[in-house]
Amino acid sequence: MTKKILIIEDETNLREALKDKFSMEGYQVIEARDGTEGVSLAKSMSPDIILLDIIMPKENGLDALKEIRNTASLIAVPVFMLTNLSEESSQKITSDLGANAYLVKSDIKIDDLIGKVKAILE
C-alpha cells in the first residue's frame, strides 16, 4: 500500500519540489497551501505523515498542529515541522504541541528530508 505524505506549505516552489521528489520515491503526495486547507485534507485523506510549515496564510502551522493533535484519527500521525524559524522557542512550542521533528528549511537538503521521512514510514 502506497504511503501518503501531506505537505502543508505556502511556498509553491518548495511544495512542488517536495512533491516531485517524494512522488519519484513512490509516495502519494497530497498538497495544501495553508493550514486551513491542510487540516481539512489531513482529516479527509488520513496521511501517514505530515510536513507542516509554521508561517502561512489563513491558519498558521502552530494552530494547524493544535487542531491535528486534537483530532482522534490524527493523534498518532507523525508531524515534521518544516520552517524557516530557527529560534529555540519555536522548537519548544512545536515539541510541546506534539510535533515529531523540527527541521529548518535552510539547514536541510531535500534528500536528507526524504531519508528522515523514510525512516519514520518504513
Q: Residue 4 in contact with residue 26, Cβ under 8 Å?
A: no
CA 17 → CA 14, 31, 51, 114, distances in Å?
5, 11, 13, 12
**What number is the average pLDDT over the span 99-103?**
94
Domains of the chain: 4-121 (3.40.50.2300)
CA 23 → CA 3, 53, 86, distances in Å?
10, 19, 28
pLDDT in tens, 109-121: 999 999 999 999 9
**What number is the average pLDDT over the span 19-46?**
96
Q: 77: how many CB neighbours lie within 10 A of its CB? A: 19
Cell numbers 503526495 correspond to 29
> Comparing 97 with 87, which gets the higher pLDDT?
97
Task: Record the pTM.
Answer: 0.95
Q: Residue 27 in contact with residue 6, Cβ under 8 Å?
A: no
Residue 88 binned pLDDT confidence (cut-offs 50, 70, 90) = confident
Of the given ranges (23-27, 66-70, 87-91), which has the lowest mean pLDDT? 87-91
Q: 40-58 burial string, b = 16+ CB within 10 Å, else e?
A: ebbeeeebbbbbbbbebee
**What number is the average pLDDT over the span 29-41?**
97
Q: In this model, does residue 11 exceed pLDDT 90?
A: yes
Q: What is the pLDDT, as a whole number, of residue 1?
A: 74
Q: What is the pLDDT, as a whole number, of residue 84?
A: 87
